[in-house]
Amino acid sequence: MNTNLGIEFGKRLTTLCDGRQGIRAAITCEVKDVNEGDEPVLDFIASDESVDRYNEVIEAAGWELDNYRRNPVVINSHDYSSILHILGRSDEVTVKEGKLLNRVRFALDNPMGNLAYKMARGGYVRSESVGFIPIEWMRGNEAAGEPYRTFKKQELLEISLVAVPANPSATIGAALKSGAIQKGDLEAMQEVLRIFCRNKAEPNRDPGARAVGFDGAQLRQLAEQLHQPISAVLRRA
């Protein structure tokens, strides 16, 4: 089925990395540590074609991956506003046995990438979120127990990890207590965030910028929001 996305999906539509309107969906994953010496590489093995909370199914065979492979960055929570949010890149993304699989090489030089890697390896980050453009789909008979909608073909544009979850203080604190991350990791992250918090915010004046509408004040606010729970964890450590 092809029709106007706004009519079909309404408020579910959001602006994706290239400015187009699409859908984001959470994918629960198995995380596998890949043995490449000291290289920070993890495999994210996406769940099968199960019904999600929208009573929808995404068929794995329908993924179109070419555009994503041209710029396979993995980012924090769909935030393209700063290189701070680039957690790594997907060296490999493929479909196999009804699953969307991706291998992530984390950017350890970025304190947020380092934190995301250690939390994922320690089991504190177990899901990804994909942004995609629906191309073909069909509706089912819910009364007969069928999914409301099955996506038959979809174009992958982005992959995100939730590096700092909804309750970051509790989750980061648990990761620190378990030894998955070290106090030094949080201190490095805190120093980067402190720089953002003290810098004067300047608005984004380029109307053609990809992150249009996201200005320096918003980035500073985000830094402050992350800085506070990390500081709270360090005070308890």
Tell me the Cα Rg of the chain: 19
Range 87-106 average pLDDT: 93
| pLDDT of res. 130 | 92
Which residues, 6 or more positions from 184, have their beta carbon under 8 angstroms from its beta carbon?
none
Which of the four pLDDT bands, split at 50, 70 and 90, describes residue 160?
Answer: very high
Does the pLDDT of residue 167 top 70, yes or no?
no
Range 29-33 average pLDDT: 89
Cα 146 to the chain's mean position, in Å?
A: 29
| pLDDT of res. 114 | 86
**What predicted TM-score, i.e. pTM, was given to this entire model?**
0.74
Does the pLDDT of residue 161 top 90, yes or no?
no
Per-chain mean pLDDT for the chain:
79
Share of the chain above pLDDT 90, in %: 37
> Are 161 and 116 in contact, with CB atoms under 8 Å apart?
yes
> Are 106 and 163 in contact, with CB atoms under 8 Å apart?
no
Whole-angstrom distance, CA of residue 40 vs CA of residue 61: 29
| pLDDT of res. 224 | 55
Range 190-202 average pLDDT: 60
Q: What phi and psi values does residue 6 have, to the nearest 5 degrees?
A: -65, -40
Lowest mean per-residue pLDDT among 45-59, 101-115, 223-237: 223-237
pLDDT in tens, 33-59: 886 667 899 999 887 888 888 899 999
